[in-house]
C-alpha cells in the first residue's frame, strides 16, 4: 500500500451500482426517530391542523402533509433552527431532515405560513404532550411553581409610543414648524428689501425647500396626533406601529419591547404544565388563572402554587382558595407609611373573631361600624372605630392618632380571614419558597441560555402564543426524552398507540367475519347456478 499524506475521500465522479437508502441516513437510536414516532401518535385533524383531514380530490398540486411540516418545526426548534429560510436550507442538506421528511423540500413561504396559520393547533399539540407526561407519571401533580419572564417581540423600542412620548413628539414638531415658519418670514422680508426686484417676479430661493419640509412636518404631526387620540379613545397607555400587541415592558430598570411569558412548572421533573403569554409588565393578576390552568392540566383536586412577591394580591389569593389551590406568596412589606410617622399600623391591632372586635396596643376595643367602604383598590372594607373619649385620655395617643383625628379607625377587608390564613401559612413556608426558584427558573434558563430563545419571530398575540407553545413543547419533549431515554420513550409512545391498534384489529376481524358469512351464503347459490339448465 502506498503511503498517503492524508485520508482521502471517495471520488464525486464515482458511479454507484445501487442508490443509497434514505433509511440508512440515521442510526436506529437517533433522537429524530422519536420525533417521527410522536407526530405519528398525534391526531392532527382533531388538534385542528390545516389540511389534516384532507382527502385526495380535484386537480392541481396537493399541499404538504401537516405532519411533515410539524416534524420539520419540532426538529428545528429542538436544534435551534427557527427561521423559515434556514429550515428550507436544512431540509435540502441535513441528512436527518432528509430522512425525517423523506426528501421533501418545502419552500420557506410554506414553512412560515404553517407556523402562522396553525397557532391554535400548536397550542393543542402542546396540551396533548402535557397529557402524555401525566399518563407516564412524569409530573407530581401536587406542587407547581409560577413565574414570568420577558421575551423580546418582533418590534423595536422605537416603534412603541406612549402618551407622554407622543405628546413630547408633537411639542417638538410644533417647535420645528414654528422655526421653519419664522425662517420663511425672514426670507420674505429679505427679498422685499432688495432694490430693483419685484417680489412676484423674483426667484423663490430656498422658500420651496422650506415649504416642503414644513409640509412633511405637518404630516408627521397629524399622524402623531391621530395616534394620541387613538390611545385616549381606547384607554390604552402604549401603541406599537410594528406589532400591535407588543408592549414596552419595564422591570428592575430594564426595558423590553415584547411580551411577558407566564409558566407553571411541576416540581417533580421541572416540566411546563401550563403557560400563557401576556403583554403586561406586572405579574399581579396572573396567579389564579395560571394556577387553575395547571390544575386542569394535571386533573387534580388540590394543588400548591408557589410564586414570588410580585404575584401578591388579596383577590388572587381569595380566588385560589375558592378553587382548591393553596397559594404560597411572600407578603410584601409595603411602604410602611404609618411606621415612618411613628404610628401603630394594622399589624399592631389584634382581631378577636368571637366578638368581632379589634384590640389596640393600649388594650382598648375597636367596634365595627354599620357602613361599608370601598378602598382605593376596590375592595369592600369594614371600618372599626374606637371611642373618642377613650382615645382622648389614652397615654399612647401620640403613637396612634393622626394630628387632626379624635379617635382611631382601621379597615378590615370583608375576606380578611383569607389573608390571615395565608400569613399563618407563610410562617413555615421557608423551605417551599427556597425550592420555588430552582423549579421555575430551570425552563427559562434552558430556553434562553441553551436554546437561545430570547425573542419571538412572529407578531400578534395569536401567533406569538402559537410560537411559545412550540417552544414549550420542544422543551418538554427534549426533557422527557432525556429522563426516560430513547427506548423507554418509544415504548411509551407504542403503549399510547396500543388502543388504536386494538380498535383497528377488531375492525379488521369484524370485516373478515362478515366476508366469511357472505361467502358461505353465496357459495351454494353459485354451485346451483352452474348446473342448472339454460
State how beta strands 254-266 and 365-374 pair.
unpaired
51: confidence class by pLDDT, cuts 50, 70, 90: confident
Positive or negative, the CA dihedral 319, 323, 472, 141 is: positive
**pLDDT at 196 > cutoff 70:** no
**CB-CB contact of 328 with 307 (8 Å):** yes
Cell of 84: 423559515
Tell me the three state secondary structure of residue 254.
strand
CB neighbours of 208 closer than 8 A, spacing ≥ 6?
A: none
**pLDDT at 47 > cutoff 50:** yes
- Average pLDDT of the chain to the nearest whole number: 84
Cell of 444: 427559562
pLDDT at 504: 40
State how beta strands 303-306 and 325-328 pair.
parallel
Distance CA 261, CA 222 (A): 35
State how beta strands 143-152 and 254-266 pair.
antiparallel
Q: Which of 10-24, 72-86, 418-432 has the highest mean pLDDT?
A: 72-86
**pLDDT at 346 > cutoff 70:** yes
CA angle (255, 260, 265) in 5-degree steps: 130
CA angle (313, 258, 469) in 5-degree steps: 80
Distance CA 298, CA 277 (A): 20
Distance CA 142, CA 290 (A): 15
Give the per-residue SS3 of 362-412: CCCEEEEEEEEEECCCCCEEEEEECCHHHHHCCCCHHHCCCCCCCCCEEEE
Q: At what angle do helices 461-484 and 32-41 cross, to 10 degrees?
A: 120
CB neighbours of 337 closer than 8 A, spacing ≥ 6?
A: none
**pLDDT at 381 > cutoff 70:** yes
Choice between 277 and 372, residue whose per-residue pLDDT is larger: 277
Tell me the three state secondary structure of residue 448.
helix
pLDDT at 461: 92
For the stretch 44-69, what's the b/e string if a residue is b when 16 or more beta carbons lie within 10 angstroms of its beta carbon? beebbbbbbeeeeeeeeeeebbbebb
Distance CA 203, CA 200 (A): 9
Cell of 66: 401537516
Report the phi/psi class of residue 41: left, alpha or beta, with left for phi > 0 and alpha for psi in -120 to 50: alpha
Distance CA 123, CA 105 (A): 25
State how beta strands 247-251 and 303-306 pair.
unpaired
**pLDDT at 515 > cutoff 70:** no
> Smallest Cα–Cα separation from 151: which of 81, 225, 224, 243?
243
Cell of 482: 432525556
Distance CA 297, CA 273 (A): 7
Mean pLDDT of 65-94: 95
Phi first, then psi, for residue 182 (nearest 5°) are: -65, -35
pLDDT at 502: 44
Distance CA 157, CA 250 (A): 11
pLDDT at 464: 95
Q: Which residue has the cell 391591632?
A: 349
**pLDDT at 290 > cutoff 90:** yes
Q: What is the pLDDT of residues 111-142, one digit of tens each?
A: 999 999 999 999 999 999 999 999 999 999 99
Q: Which residue has the cell 442510526?
A: 27
149: confidence class by pLDDT, cuts 50, 70, 90: very high
pLDDT at 5: 73
Percentage of residues in the chain with pLDDT exceeding 90? 49
Q: What is the pLDDT of residues 326-343, one digit of tens each?
A: 999 998 877 677 887 888
Query: What is the DSSP code string of 9-41?
Result: ---TT---SSPPPGGGGS-TT-THHHHHHHHHH
Stated length of the chain? 534
CB neighbours of 100 closer than 8 A, spacing ≥ 6?
A: 32, 35, 36, 71, 72, 75
CB neighbours of 302 closer than 8 A, spacing ≥ 6?
A: 142, 324, 325, 326
Distance CA 182, CA 175 (A): 11
Distance CA 275, CA 451 (A): 18
Amino acid at each position: 500500500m502506498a503511503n498517503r499524506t492524508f485520508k482521502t475521500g471517495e471520488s464525486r465522479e464515482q458511479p454507484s451500482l445501487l442508490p443509497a437508502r434514505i433509511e440508512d441516513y440515521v442510526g436506529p437510536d437517533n433522537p429524530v426517530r422519536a420525533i417521527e414516532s410522536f407526530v405519528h401518535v398525534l391526531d392532527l385533524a382533531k388538534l385542528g391542523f390545516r389540511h389534516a383531514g384532507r382527502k385526495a380530490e380535484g386537480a392541481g398540486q396537493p399541499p404538504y402533509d401537516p405532519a411533515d411540516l410539524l416534524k420539520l418545526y419540532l426538529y428545528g426548534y429542538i436544534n435551534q433552527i427557527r427561521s423559515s429560510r434556514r429550515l428550507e436550507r436544512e431540509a435540502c442538506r441535513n441528512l436527518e431532515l432528509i430522512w425525517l421528511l423523506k426528501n421533501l423540500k418545502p419552500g420557506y413561504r410554506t414553512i412560515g405560513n404553517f407556523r402562522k396559520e396553525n397557532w391554535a393547533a400548536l397550542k393543542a399539540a402542546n396540551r396533548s404532550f402535557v397529557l402524555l407526561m401525566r399518563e407516564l407519571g412524569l409530573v407530581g401533580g401536587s406542587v407547581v411553581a409560577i413565574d414570568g419572564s420577558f421575551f423580546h417581540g418582533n418590534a423595536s423600542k422605537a416603534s412603541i409610543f406612549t402618551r407622554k412620548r407622543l405628546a413630547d413628539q408633537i411639542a417638538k414638531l410644533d417647535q420645528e414648524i414654528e422655526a421653519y415658519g419664522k425662517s420663511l418670514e425672514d426670507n420674505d422680508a429679505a427679498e422685499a428689501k432688495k432694490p430693483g426686484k419685484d417680489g412676484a417676479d423674483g426667484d423663490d430661493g430656498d422658500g420651496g425647500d422650506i415649504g416642503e419640509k414644513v409640509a412633511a412636518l405637518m404630516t408627521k404631526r397629524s399622524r402623531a396626533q391621530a395616534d394620541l387620540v387613538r390611545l385616549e379613545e381606547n384607554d390604552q397607555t402604549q401603541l406599537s406601529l410594528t406589532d400591535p400587541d407588543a408592549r414596552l415592558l419595564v422591570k428592575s430598570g430594564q426595558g423590553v419591547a415584547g411580551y411577558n411569558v407566564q409558566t407553571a412548572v411541576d416540581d417533580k421533573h421541572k416540566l411546563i404544565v401550563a403557560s400563557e403569554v401576556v403583554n403586561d409588565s406586572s405579574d399581579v393578576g396572573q396567579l389564579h388563572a395560571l394556577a387553575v390552568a395547571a390544575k386542569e392540566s394535571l386533573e387534580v383536586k388540590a394543588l400548591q402554587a408557589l410564586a414570588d412577591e410580585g404575584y401578591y394580591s388579596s383577590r388572587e389569593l381569595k380566588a385560589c382558595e375558592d378553587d382548591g389551590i393553596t397559594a404560597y406568596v411572600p407578603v410584601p412589606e409595603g411602604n410602611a407609611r404609618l411606621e415612618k410617622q411613628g404610628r401603630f399600623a394594622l399589624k399592631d391591632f389584634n382581631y378577636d373573631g368571637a366578638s368581632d372586635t379589634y384590640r389596640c396596643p393600649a388594650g382598648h376595643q375597636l367596634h365595627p361600624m354599620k357602613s361599608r367602604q370601598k378602598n382605593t383598590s376596590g375592595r369592600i372594607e369594614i371600618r372599626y372605630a374606637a371611642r373618642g373619649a377613650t382615645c382622648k385620655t389614652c397615654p399612647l395617643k401620640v403613637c396612634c392618632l393622626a394630628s387632626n383625628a379624635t379617635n382611631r379607625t382601621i379597615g378590615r377587608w370583608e375576606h380578611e380571614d383569607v389573608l390571615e390564613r395565608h400569613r399563618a401559612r407563610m410562617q413555615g413556608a421557608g423551605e417551599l419558597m427556597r425550592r420555588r426558584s430552582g423549579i421555575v427558573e430551570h425552563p427559562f434558563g434552558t430556553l434562553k441560555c441553551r436554546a437561545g430563545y430570547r425573542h419571538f419571530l412572529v407578531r400578534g398575540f395569536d401567533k406569538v402564543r402559537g410560537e411559545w407553545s412550540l417552544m414549550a413543547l420542544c422543551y418538554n419533549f427534549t426533557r422527557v426524552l432525556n429522563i426516560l431515554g430513547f427506548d423507554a420513550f418509544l415504548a411509551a409512545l407504542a403503549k399510547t398507540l396500543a388502543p388504536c391498534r386494538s380498535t383497528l384489529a377488531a375492525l379488521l376481524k369484524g370485516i373478515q367475519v362478515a366476508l366469511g358469512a357472505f361467502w358461505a351464503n353465496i357459495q351454494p347459490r353459485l354451485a346451483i347456478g352452474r348446473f342448472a339448465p339454460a
